[in-house]
Amino acid sequence: MAVEIDPIHQFQIFNIVDLGAPGGVHLGFTNSAAFMVGIVAAIFFFLTYATRGRTLVPGRLQSMAELSYEFVASTVRSTAGNEGMKFFPLVFSLFMFVLFANFVGMIPYSFTVTSHIVVTAALALVVIGTVIIYGFARHGTHFLHLFVPSGVPAFLLPFMVVIELISFLSRPISLSLRLFANMLAGHIAMKVFAGFIVMMTAGGVAGFFGAVLPLAMVVALTALEFLVAALQAYVFAVLTCIYLNDALHPGH
């Protein structure tokens, strides 16, 4: 009897509906796509269902919807100022998408959309793309002052520009990798420890009782993963706000 536990299997993507290869690119409605659709539907349903009564004194669900709104709104306002509120729908969408994706991923047997780097990278590029496009549209070449810190001696300036440039370019990478690696590593760790339980319980009485240790570990890791799921969504939103703030006020 071989217990086969594959901690990587949970990240596998398969086609539910194969859409063929129009233009030579293979496309399909995958399990990932199904979860994305489900996440969007869940967010929309949650927010509209919770506010269906539009009551003056909010109920439990409406409080949650209002809380998420005010939480993101205050984050945007405190990091990017009142001007940043024009990006509020974007930041809110990113936050809710990442949050719901992370939490949905915590459901056993489900798929974690944000555990794929192409998804997190695409979200990060949306942020950086918005920053660059809005920055140039709003400030023109003045946006480039972002890379030229003021009050720096002339001989240091070339180095500073290079450093600023590298730091700017590394933003989308760090933004996408942070979320991707957190979700990937957390889910692998949980799966590995859960695998230990299965293996040890199959290994006799000593193993059966010894399995308490990895079980405790899995419980702790699950709690940690819930924290990480919320935290990473928040970090993603906050960093988005900080980067958007650069687009709004590039002069430091």
Binding site residues, other proteins, CB under 8 A: 1-9, 11-13, 15, 19, 25-30, 32-33, 36-37, 39-40, 43-44, 47-48, 51, 54, 56, 58, 62, 65-66, 69-70, 88-90, 92-93, 96-97, 115-119, 122-123, 126, 180, 184, 192, 195-196, 198-200, 202-204, 206-207, 210
Residue 199, CA distances (Å) to 110, 157, 193, 207 in order: 22, 59, 10, 8
CB of 95: closest distance to other proteins in angstroms? 10
CB of 30 to other proteins, least distance (A): 5
Nearest to other proteins of 39, 146 (CB atom): 39
CB of 235 to other proteins, least distance (A): 19
Nearer to other proteins, 161 or 189 (CB): 189
Reference 87, options 131, 26, 24; nearest CA is 131
Q: How many residues does the chain have?
A: 252
* 53 versus 251: smaller Cβ distance to other proteins: 53
Minimum distance, C-beta of residue 51 to other proteins, in the bound complex (Å): 5
Complex with other proteins: residue 171 or 191, whichever CB lies closer? 191
* Number of Cβ atoms within 10 Å of the Cβ of 204: 10
Residue by residue, DSSP assigns 139-152 as HGGGGGGGGS-TT-
State the Cα–Cα distance between residues 156 and 154, nearest whole angstrom.
Answer: 5
Give the shortest CB-226-to-other proteins separation in angstroms. 22
Q: Considering beta carbons, is residue 162 or 173 the nearer one to other proteins?
A: 173
Helix (H) or strand (E) holding 17: strand 15-18
Q: Is 28 helix (H, G, I), strand (E, B) or coil?
A: strand
Cβ count within 10 A of residue 191: 19
| Least CB distance to other proteins at residue 5 (A) | 5
Q: Which of 8, 4, 32, 36 is nearest to 190 (CA)?
A: 8
Of residues 163 and 202, the one with the C-beta less far from other proteins = 202
C-alpha–C-alpha distance, residues 180 and 112, integer Å: 10
